[in-house]
Structure 1
């Protein structure tokens, strides 16, 4: 039995965000709390699967004493002693060994650099996506990616929305990019399939809500300037009260805001007559929010939604368009973690309001890579109807 099926046996009505013309303050708080709760749950499960982490920074996962290294200024995978081989596997330069967890700072900083590695692949041959920093003209920005034909392709568009947590644009699961391969943890195989099937592409970045990464990349000069600002003193040598710096990104303060902003500024302006959405995990919640708030605008062009272990839910507050679109088995399907054979029909989920099928894998992070083939077939079939 899948987690979705188990959840439906509970007598509880899941929280949902009411449709509005746009995000409100109370909605933002509810969304953030819900997203944080899901993120914590996924992170805890991830650590249990991959690490025996006792939070002791003087020992690694094997209990061996390690040198105390400050990783926060590392800028390349090579500095960590690793590289990606031709199979997309992270291996040590010396010994060809798998990644060895030392402490959380090492893991997080390496994860940040791997994001850039994947995004550089997205901008290079043979994928050749273009990077856009939004909103234009603002100091605080986040990046999204589109195909070069995004504003010219009149036929079909594929929208990618990742889940919550540490993952950024181009990733399904950071843990897999580190511990398995880029083929399972990144969206690179999906991008190649989309290009092969003549889709224009847009890759969203719903978790990039606070501007900080470009400062890290630009180096010590900006850090020193920021430090000087923090340590300013008055004429008597007394530290001045620090001004609170708001690094939130306008229009992307949270993932739901980001979805609406990208829709209004990009997706709505695409000439594509047919739009499909691929969303993983919390990306399903964001997709639901998009349909609840922009359903009338996108209705004529939206052809299908393919979820991979989405954690969304519907309630009486969900819009009629969202409910009807999700209920159509030819338009919406969620491939969930399951021990059943790949693509096994698991019936209709009342909780999620859509049909569900087995992803062919029992682990949440692997679901997107495991079900890619039937997922694309489902999308292509939806365009024929």
Structure 2
């Protein structure tokens, strides 16, 4: 029997068939979309996995002005790059190892140290460690040994974390090495944490093998003493050690007691728990160390305050008025848009360093603050005096650096060292020559501080040193222009004519060479009918510069041609010979002049005590004029001091200068009855800015500067603590909460009734 489908049944079947077809088509269409999504997910997973590179540049970072910053944006190092914190930590550790290599390169290139293998008799296939030493280790009378703490740090570092986050100046040892070298010390930089290596002897198995002579930090220290310090000529040794480095010092003193007692005159420690480490050695060792070892520890007392002693060392405070975290949170650290940057109107490097030190450790004595305020007010009221002081200060170079170069007893005798000493001695003479002018200007002042500083400049020893220098140095200006050749000519004629016959003979030969070069200059100018001038560079030697577009034919004796913009530089065979002749004469003159200068320095060295007072005087004068210039230009007022703090219409000093809009003035009032203030408000309303403003104005007032307000009265505080923002720290294993609790605990343990505490959220 045949069954006939109705129309409705047929339509239903067609709809089912169409639905199945559409379903299949949808699955086909969805498949590539899902594949795309899957591929995107895989790409995101790849981006969230750390890829190890072999250089900082491939990570997008480099060291610029001593700080690790992004190559593209100049922003500091960023930890949170991946969503997975484990991958962030892997990236951080890899970058840390690359920072180690960068520091090693800087020790060799910048500090001019050489890498020495430990052990010294290592075989080719043997794994080794290394240290860094200066090239005068065998001959120098003075030696500094630097020992870092435990952990991941390597040679040349105090803290890898500080190098990455704050820069080389704070986290590395290079500043200490530079100062030691400038003072004539040989240097040994130890590497106590490189103790072992991983040996893969069997498939899928590895063993940790110690490095001979460096299996522990203590063994490394003793090996360095036996093979490097003991054979050296140094009779005066000082040691600088951080944290666990103190234990290494104890071990060296224990094994080499007699030699240690005879040759080591000072040991400086920082944050080293010597009470724990001292239990390992005998009492006679501790007694010997106690006479020459000081341990500086973090404390709320002023820097260098005596905190007592223990069995093996004296203890002193390394504490500062403003703790390190607060200095960054409140904007004290040097950098753009900081309190340091808005006050940086100093004219000398010494003044800048003194300003930085005062920001980190303001005054707490009211009389001393008034003393400075009177000097600032004197300069603000007397514009002529301030202009004279500022103009004279521009002639002062870094006196501190000059003194360090002059007090070396066993200096290097190379041409480069001779050039440096000749330049320094001439700078010293010019500084002493201009001192009477500064003294005359300060005699017009009415403030007691400026008058006292003026009396320091009247020390008769300055004139004695100047007379000794003028007896042998040229007082006339030989060359008025600047440049490479002018600097060489000034060095050539540094010593008075007639003082040394050999020197006069060599200088006469130099004049002949210069005359020959000038003759060639005139000859080529007439030949080409174009302006021609000669110059001297370190790479080309003497060359002739043809000024303008040159389209003529050069003579056959031209050996090199270079074009720069519209000028053509040519060197002939005769000029090349004259360059060689000039260089030989110049080197001989520098070495001969250096011998005379070393004798001269020996004569003035007994009178050099006054120069340290000069550094202090110039630094304070420069800082005071900086305060005066900033206060006058930005309409600051002189603050008063009393039992309460009350500021009317106070302005944030940084926003007042750098802000895009004029800051809103706020009133601040703190007193005994109202010593806790709770600041509330919506997000982005300026609560944190208001808190920072209080701390910055307090510091401005206590360093002796005027403040941005209509009226101001402050209560003197002895410490400033702040907790404005805290982050988790995977390096130390602290969460955000743990970090905040530790910071609050530190504040509670250290605060006093005279503390200013700022807490944000």
**TM-score normalised to structure 1 length:** 0.65
Higher mean alpha-carbon deviation, 179-188 vs 288-297, is at: 288-297
Please name the residue that 1:84 is paired with: 63
Aligned residue among 90, 98, 102 for 2:76: 98
Counterparts of 1:337-352 in structure 2, within 5 Å, are 337-348=298-309, 350=310
Q: Does 1:67 align with 2:47?
A: yes
Higher mean alpha-carbon deviation, 76-85 vs 139-148, is at: 76-85
In the alignment, the residues of structure 2 paired with residue 258 and residue 81 of structure 1 have an alpha-carbon distance, to the nearest angstrom, of: 35
State the SS of the aligned residue for 1:193: helix
Shift of 1:281: 0.6
Shift of 1:71: 4.1
In the alignment, the residues of structure 1 paired with residue 150 and residue 54 of structure 2 have an alpha-carbon distance, to the nearest angstrom, of: 24
State the SS of the aligned residue for 1:279: strand
Q: Does 1:264 align with 2:250?
A: no
Deviations along 1:27-51, whole A, 9 cap, x unmatched? xxxxxxxxxxxxxxxxxxxxxxxxx
In the alignment, the residues of structure 1 paired with residue 295 and residue 51 of structure 2 have an alpha-carbon distance, to the nearest angstrom, of: 39
Shift of 1:99: 1.1
Gaps of 5+ in 1: 1-64, 216-225, 232-241, 372-379, 381-385
Higher mean alpha-carbon deviation, 107-116 vs 186-195, is at: 107-116
Counterparts of 1:147-296 in structure 2, within 5 Å, are 147-153=134-140, 155-211=141-197, 230-231=202-203, 244-296=206-258
Is 1:325–1:332's contact at 8 Å kept on the other side of the alignment? Answer: no
Aligned residue among 258, 263, 268 for 1:301: 263
Is 1:142–1:211's contact at 8 Å kept on the other side of the alignment? Answer: no
Is 2:149–2:241's contact at 8 Å kept on the other side of the alignment? Answer: yes
Gaps of 5+ in 2: 1-44, 81-87, 328-355, 358-406, 408-761
Is 1:288–1:312's contact at 8 Å kept on the other side of the alignment? Answer: no
Question: Which of 1 and 2 has higher RCO (CA within 8 Å, sep 6+)?
Answer: 1
State the SS of the aligned residue for 2:196: coil
Is 2:142–2:235's contact at 8 Å kept on the other side of the alignment? Answer: yes
Deviations along 1:329-348, whole A, 9 cap, x unmatched? xx211111123222222222
Counterparts of 1:14-53 in structure 2, within 5 Å, are none
Is 1:292–1:321's contact at 8 Å kept on the other side of the alignment? Answer: no
Higher mean alpha-carbon deviation, 309-318 vs 260-269, is at: 309-318
Shift of 1:353: 2.8
In the alignment, the residues of structure 1 paired with residue 223 and residue 288 of structure 2 have an alpha-carbon distance, to the nearest angstrom, of: 22
- Return the structure number with greater helix share: 2
Shift of 1:357: 1.3
In the alignment, the residues of structure 1 paired with residue 280 and residue 202 of structure 2 have an alpha-carbon distance, to the nearest angstrom, of: 46
Is 2:274–2:312's contact at 8 Å kept on the other side of the alignment? Answer: no
Q: Which one has a bigger Cα radius of gyration?
A: 2
Question: Aligned pair count?
Answer: 273
In the alignment, the residues of structure 1 paired with residue 284 and residue 177 of structure 2 have an alpha-carbon distance, to the nearest angstrom, of: 28
Q: Does 1:144 align with 2:128?
A: no
Distance 1:195 1:76, change over 3 A: same
In the alignment, the residues of structure 1 paired with residue 108 and residue 244 of structure 2 have an alpha-carbon distance, to the nearest angstrom, of: 25
